[in-house]
Amino acid sequence: MIKWLWRLLLLSLLSGLLVSSLLFFALYRTYDRLGAETAIATVRFKELSPQHYQLFLATPGSCAERSFPIQGDDWRIDARFIKWPNWLTVLGLDPQYRLDRVEGRFRDIDQANNTPHHAYALSPRTWVKPGWLDKLHFLIDTDYGSSVYASMDGNKQYVVYRSPSGLFTREAQSIPVLISPEACLQSQSYWTQAALWLDGEFRDRSVASNNDTP
């Protein structure tokens, strides 16, 4: 009887470790590496009317600019960051980041509260969340959000940078070329495809489990 209980306990521990490892893999592969200060986006505008702009956004590895209709005085970009514990950093795992959304921002609070708000996603929506591993401190040190905003002007353009402490931006006379037309012809890496497949499997199993719950 005692031997059977030990086997059951060992099986439970191994199953938990396997699930945690799969979640960690899916999370790691759906975020981008975060190293030294690096340009991760360029932003420029076309004014359509007062406080109404077309924002053009370029990011590394994209094959073309993306454009979004933005209302407000400022543009704003949000990102998610994941910092691994020291032992994983020593093993060569860089902190990760993922661009989250872009939106407009009114400086006047009353105008912000009384104007319809629109935000646009910048990354695929994934089911696996960093917070699920928060209790496993040996895998994740912390996850957090970072935002940057600056004024919109048809004559201005910006470069958005990421650093280990978060996002920041600089106005630039000339902006680097981040897009690559060849990227449209390239498929996702096998690792990324596997991570997205795992993410979908976890999502489908969760939905099925919730549907079966009376």
Question: Is residue 15 predicted with pLDDT exceeding 60?
Answer: no
> What confidence category does residue 176 fall into, taking pLDDT thresholds of 50, 70 and 90?
confident
pLDDT > 70? residue 45: yes
pTM for the model stands at 0.66
Q: What is the per-residue pLDDT for 127?
A: 43
The predicted pLDDT at position 6 comes to: 56
Q: 166 pairs with which residues across the strands? A: 163
Residue 85 clears pLDDT 90, i.e. is over it: no
User: Chain-wide mean pLDDT for the chain?
Assistant: 75
Query: Would you state the pLDDT for residue 41?
Result: 94
**What average pLDDT does the segment 5-21 reach?**
56
Residue with tokens 């981008």: 32
Lowest mean pLDDT among 118-122, 180-184, 197-201: 197-201
Q: Is the pLDDT of residue 210 over 90?
A: no
